[in-house]
A and B are shown apart, each in its own frame.
Chain A
């Protein structure tokens, strides 16, 4: 299995809703990432988990709450979002530290989120 699977593919939510995005990989990768991508822009890093522990939070507002229940799963819990949070949310995974030859990320196909 060489894929990162994200669900749902599309999500429309109101500003008072609570929803969760899910990400799963079975490649044995020990680093997992959440990225946010606005239209015609590069992905922006939100969170990094390494060995199931949060290692990087890029000053993301608290209405986004990540969770890594085990080495294969990554969730992003959403609450009280704003319309400007509408974007494509990408999950990625990678090997941990390598001496050299790090293979980069494997990305999921993303969840397209619309906040109304």
Chain B
């Protein structure tokens, strides 16, 4: 079945450092790929997405490129802020049940950014 593997945390960085969170996937077909962010005490928010190979998703300074040849969707940000401290989930979509899409999540990576 489909699966997502992302780097285990926690990741601790200083403000303005460069961030990479690795994500690789296994899927049949052509899934869409997503990064979700969960701030403490909240639900998940869509951070960015890519629907086909070589697409780059971007939002709030974060970027990720859909790499079919390496089955990867690594999250990057050039300069992190304290407010970026959160749990980040990589996910892929899978069409199931005939009329639905279902998300398969990675285990999540806790990012802490210190001032």
How far does the Cβ of B23 sit from chain A's closest Cβ, in whole Å?
12
The 8 Å CB contact of B101, one of A43, A102, A109, is: A102
Q: Decide if A42 touches B89 in the complex (CB within 8 Å).
A: yes
Given contacts A90-B43, A101-B51, A104-B46, contact A45 B95 (CB under 8 A): no
A96 contacts the other chain (Cβ, under 8 Å)? Answer: yes
Instruction: Please indicate which of the listed interface residues B36, B42, B101, B106 has the most CB atoms of chain A within 10 Å of its own CB.
Output: B101
Q: Decide if A56 touches B101 in the complex (CB within 8 Å).
A: no
A contact residues, range:
20 to 34
CB neighbours (8 Å) of B106 from chain A are 42
CB neighbours (8 Å) of A92 from chain B are 44
CB neighbours (8 Å) of A97 from chain B are 95, 99-101
Q: Decide if B43 touches A102 in the complex (CB within 8 Å).
A: no
A55, B99: Cα distance in complex, Å: 9
Report B8-38 residues with CB < 8 Å from chain A CB. Answer: 32, 34, 36
CB neighbours (8 Å) of A88 from chain B are 43
CB neighbours (8 Å) of A55 from chain B are 97-100
Q: Decide if B100 touches A31 in the complex (CB within 8 Å).
A: yes
CB neighbours (8 Å) of B96 from chain A are 56
Given contacts A90-B44, A97-B101, 13 further A-B contacts (CB under 8 A): A31-B99, A40-B108, A42-B107, A48-B102, A50-B99, A50-B100, A55-B98, A94-B101, A96-B100, A101-B32, A104-B101, A105-B103, A107-B43
CB within 8 Å of B: which residues of A? 4, 6, 31, 40-43, 45, 48, 50-51, 55-56, 88, 90, 92, 94, 96-97, 100-110
List 4 tightest A-B contacts by C-beta distance, closest first.
A42-B105, A107-B43, A109-B43, A55-B97
CB within 8 Å of A: which residues of B? 32, 34, 36, 42-46, 49, 51-52, 89, 91, 93, 95-103, 105-108, 110
